[in-house]
Structure 1
Amino acid sequence: MNDQIPVKNVTPVKVHKPEKLDESKRYTARDRIYVRSVKGPLENFRRFFGFFFIALFVAIPWIQYDGHQAVLLNIVDQRFTIFSLTLWPQDLTLLAYIFIVSAFALFFITTFAGRVWCGFMCPQTTWTYIYVWFEEFFEGNRNKRIKLDERPMDFDKFWRKAAKHTAWVLVALLTAMTFVGYFTPVAQLYVDFFTFNTSFWAGFSIIFFTVCTYGNAGWMREIMCTHMCPYARFQSAMFDKDTFTVSYDASRGEQRGPRSRKLAHEDLAEKGLGECIDCNLCVQVCPTGIDIRNGLQYECINCGACVDACNGVMEKMDYPKGLISFTSEHELAGGTTHIVRPKLVGYLVVLLVMCGLLVADIVTRVPLEVDIIRDRNSLYRENMNGDIENVYTLKVLNKSQTEHTYTIKVEGLAEYEYIGEQVVTVGGGEVYSLPVSVATDPYNLSDRVTEIYFNVSTTEADGTVVEVSEPSKFLYR
């Protein structure tokens, strides 16, 4: 009890208060990023991938199938045509399945290979690179563009800038017209637009998407990726230590610094140098302007441009490639990447289940829809013969793309009189509205409400019978 606790004198820590924010720098404009062109396997693959999907995007609206536009998302008529499949508002579950499958496919790919969607398939990235190509074509390489922007306006600068922006507007206009062509007949759209005969909404949509494409790919560029796209914010929730991302191997690269090309790789340790020569090419080729050597950052879109740039430098220096590469955190730490892991398997299982449900919904989809609307003016009426009569309106929706003849029957009443057409022909993708009446002797009715069914059926060309039985009520008293 008499033992004393030793007291040690500790130098007090000086607390540094944060400096007061300079209000004049709160809303400073961003520095413009002059993207440098790069060559390499990843860049070639990205270009091929981008051009393939651009060609697909442009070609799809022009494809004809069975005498009509193969893909037409007609919002006005609430009818989506995709080759032989016609979707209506009643098919909302299919659209929900498509969105769910797309989401889990994105989650699965992101968990496995990071933001490769952003780097290789995202329209924002693809169109930005197209605009950068026009920029290089008219204004020169990165250094020439910097010098061109620094010098005062003259004729040479004016025509280069004017030609670049003209090309940007033309690309934006063609992009907008192609996109709107998914929602309105594309051939007529081009004729109407250039003859100033488009509808208000078609013309407005073309102008709106032209401005958006020009602004996003020409001016905003990386702002869309770093500030407006939500994907950059929640992607880290899907990353783990086995996710393949573009990473810098600091154990190989540090200490970085310039050196002579004559310095052999085996002599780097004696000079206290790593493999990174600090050329900054990885920063200059990055479309979002980050330095990958600072570690994984949410701005990185995994495009691999820095990988190609660094590998080119390593090849010239006769160093091993892969200083910057697609690798995992485990590999950087000297371990092994685990491809099969619970999170990835979970996403894959859910993706396969949702794909199965989507396919099952499409396969079991009945290309016929029947809606029954009762007459709201009277619940029932007694006709001249003393029979009780109920009036209905049948809406027969032919969800296929070919004309069909339908036969209508009533089930649920022992004896009845059907007043109206019993055989109707409905064109492909059309709705047929049919007023009918059902009458029966009141002695056949034991309840005030009798459940009946309107049975609508047709036979396909291959002999398959398509039948829909829709319930309704027969009222009395």
Structure 2
Amino acid sequence: MSNEIPVKQVDPSSGASDNKKNTGTTDLYASRKKIYVREVRGFFQRIRNVSLTALMGMYFLFVWISVDGQPLIYFNLPDREFHLFGITFFPQDLILLSGSLIICAFGLFFITTLFGRVWCGYTCPQTVWTFIFMWVEERIEGSRTKRMRLDKAPSSRSKIAKKSAKHAAWLLIALATGLTFVGYFYPIYDLIADLFTLNANGWAYFWVGFFTVATYLNAGWMREQVCLYMCPYARFQSVMFDPNTMVVSYDPNRGEPRGSRKKGVDPAELGLGDCIDCGQCVQVCPTGIDIRDGLQYECIGCALCIDACDEVMDKMNYPRGLIRYTTENELEGKPSKLIRPRTVGYGLALALMVLAMGYTIATRVPATLDAERDRGALFKFNGQGRIENTYTLRIGNMTEVPQTFTISVSGLESIQILTDKVITVDSSEYRTLPTVVDVDPEVISSASNTIEFTMTSETDPSLVLETESRFVGPNR
């Protein structure tokens, strides 16, 4: 028996007409065949329930939480402000957003190299909402067998009631999803009030409706079609796999040849493997594949087939693990390596980027100061015989509270500010302040001199801003 992961050879002309069989062609599009997923309980399903509860809890609760009167997460697109966990980011912080996306990408590569598509199986939004919709369907229409009989049954009052209840529940979940998503861009309390009093603008209604319909269709009707045909990750994931990657696999060395038998019979006496060919692993698969056919791109790594097979093995008094998370090397009897060049490379790159991002955020000054000298005039002498230069100070407050700044200037002896030295800047506000500076001409030794403006917050003394500029005087 071969030690390699078996691959099923599929005849592309199977199920086609006689003419297609002769020509070896097949339709480019086939109608979706509905998949009836059987409910299963087990270790990996419990893990998914925890991750699902945590992710859905964060998604639906964070939008309602405020910190110092500011939403915990709020993307204020009109004012170009992004509030995340008490920190306000602005368009000039785009580098941080880019860094975050790069970190997420490398994190996905790193995890995929180690453990395959665990992202798809446990945390992907499509998976999370699909499993919620399947749970609702199971509660209303019954088990897999009952759902199949219900769909084949003629229309009746009971069937219409169950179908209507299911779709109504799906639509309510989809509506809550749409409202919550828009609530991250439009304060949720205002959004709910404005929607139901018809005071919201048309875009608010459009986006709530759009995400409601998208959730209803993706999780209720399309389901595995999104994973198989719309998600690019399903296609390029293979470049991150190697023989040491942990994937959900069937062990043919132990399971083949498969066949039914009575409980308590030694399969070796019948010349059979441990697989009793019950089909439970296929019935619980949300993408409708048979994991026994080998590694397939359709597999999302949800491990429902592992739970189903372990349940059968327990009933037959066979050891668990006929289907399990394993590596190609392990199935071939070779040692598996967790630490290898690819994982080390991804891990180091990820660690360095996380450290760099953390340092950038930790040292980020939540305010900005820029000084621009008036280019319309070089300098002038005032009534006291001192040399004046005019500047425009631009101050930005990226904190969550108003800041009152005291302004000072240094760099030349006897230099002073003639205009306002105190300014209050509201939260998320940018202000400009015309400023006039003068100096005794006796202390100027060159036509251009470096000076420094300093702004110290009276609200938060630890917040100190500094910027350099040039003071222009007569050439000596």
For this structure pair, what is the TM-score category when the shorter chain's length is used for normalisation?
A: 0.7 to 0.9
Decide which moves more: 99-108 or 159-168. 99-108
The alignment status of 1:130 with 2:132, answered yes or no, reads yes
Decide which moves more: 149-158 or 305-314. 149-158
Which structure 1 residue ranges, 5 or more long, are not aligned? 1-16
Distance 1:416 1:19, change over 3 A: farther
The alignment status of 1:79 with 2:81, answered yes or no, reads yes
Distance 1:375 1:233, change over 3 A: farther
Match of 2:351 in 1: 352
Is the CA contact 2:40–2:284 (under 8 Å) kept in the aligned structure 1? Answer: yes
Query: What residue identity is the alignment partner of 2:255?
Result: G
Is the CA contact 1:419–1:437 (under 8 Å) kept in the aligned structure 2? Answer: yes
Match of 1:338 in 2: 337
Give the alignment's TM-score, normalised by structure 1. Answer: 0.87
Q: How many Å apart are 1:272 and its aligned residue?
A: 2.1
Q: Within 1, Cα distance between the matches of 2:121 and 2:96?
A: 29
Q: Within 2, Cα distance between the matches of 1:20 and 1:383?
A: 95
Q: How many Å apart are 1:27 and its aligned residue?
A: 2.2
Distance 1:474 1:122, change over 3 A: farther
Q: How does 1:70-469 map to 2 (within 5 A)?
A: 70-262=72-264, 264-265=265-266, 268-372=267-371, 378=376, 391-411=390-410, 418=417, 420-438=419-437, 446-447=446-447, 452-458=451-457, 461=460, 463-469=461-467
Residue aligned with 1:456, SS = strand
Query: What residue identity is the alignment partner of 1:279?
Result: C
Can you list the C-alpha shifts for 1:260-309, whole angstroms capped at 9, x where unaligned?
A: 224x23xx223221111111111111111111111111111111100001
Is the CA contact 1:380–1:389 (under 8 Å) kept in the aligned structure 2? Answer: no
Query: What residue identity is the alignment partner of 2:306?
Result: V
Q: Within 2, Cα distance between the matches of 1:255 and 1:237?
A: 31
RMSD value, Cα: 2.8
Is the CA contact 1:373–1:392 (under 8 Å) kept in the aligned structure 2? Answer: yes
Query: What residue identity is the alignment partner of 2:243?
Result: K
Q: Within 1, Cα distance between the matches of 2:467 and 2:427?
A: 20
Q: Within 2, Cα distance between the matches of 1:289 and 1:476?
A: 83
Identity percentage of aligned residues: 47
Distance 1:465 1:270, change over 3 A: closer
Can you list the C-alpha shifts for 1:304-363, whole angstroms capped at 9, x where unaligned?
A: 100001111111112111100011112211233222222212222112111111111111
Q: Within 1, Cα distance between the matches of 2:408 and 2:41?
A: 70
The alignment status of 1:32 with 2:34, answered yes or no, reads yes
Q: Within 2, Cα distance between the matches of 1:323 and 1:427?
A: 64
Q: Within 1, Cα distance between the matches of 2:187 and 2:380?
A: 50
Decide which moves more: 283-292 or 193-202. 193-202
Match of 2:9 in 1: none
Is the CA contact 1:380–1:476 (under 8 Å) kept in the aligned structure 2? Answer: no
Match of 1:58 in 2: 60
Can you list the C-alpha shifts for 1:225-258, whole angstroms capped at 9, x where unaligned?
A: 1111111122122212121110000011111122
Give the alignment's TM-score, normalised by structure 2. Answer: 0.87
Q: How many Å apart are 1:409 and its aligned residue?
A: 3.4
Is the CA contact 2:63–2:180 (under 8 Å) kept in the aligned structure 1? Answer: yes
Query: What residue identity is the alignment partner of 1:37?
Result: E
Q: How many Å apart are 1:390 and its aligned residue?
A: 5.7
Is the CA contact 1:452–1:474 (under 8 Å) kept in the aligned structure 2? Answer: no
Residue aligned with 1:109, SS = helix
Residue aligned with 1:31, SS = coil
Q: Within 2, Cα distance between the matches of 1:349 and 1:152?
A: 60
Is the CA contact 1:328–1:337 (under 8 Å) kept in the aligned structure 2? Answer: yes
Query: What residue identity is the alignment partner of 1:52?
Result: A
Q: How many Å apart are 1:397 and its aligned residue?
A: 0.7
Which structure 2 residue ranges, 5 or more long, are not aligned? 1-19
Is the CA contact 2:88–2:400 (under 8 Å) kept in the aligned structure 1? Answer: yes
Query: What residue identity is the alignment partner of 2:361?
Result: I
Q: How many Å apart are 1:167 and its aligned residue?
A: 0.8
Distance 1:72 1:472, change over 3 A: farther
Distance 1:147 1:470, change over 3 A: farther
Query: What residue identity is the alignment partner of 2:149?
Result: K
Residue aligned with 1:62, SS = coil
Q: Within 1, Cα distance between the matches of 2:241 and 2:234?
A: 12
Q: Within 2, Cα distance between the matches of 1:238 and 1:27?
A: 29
Is the CA contact 1:455–1:467 (under 8 Å) kept in the aligned structure 2? Answer: yes
Q: Within 2, Cα distance between the matches of 1:475 and 1:279?
A: 92
Distance 1:445 1:168, change over 3 A: farther
Q: How many Å apart are 1:43 and its aligned residue?
A: 0.8
Q: Within 2, Cα distance between the matches of 1:246 and 1:86?
A: 42
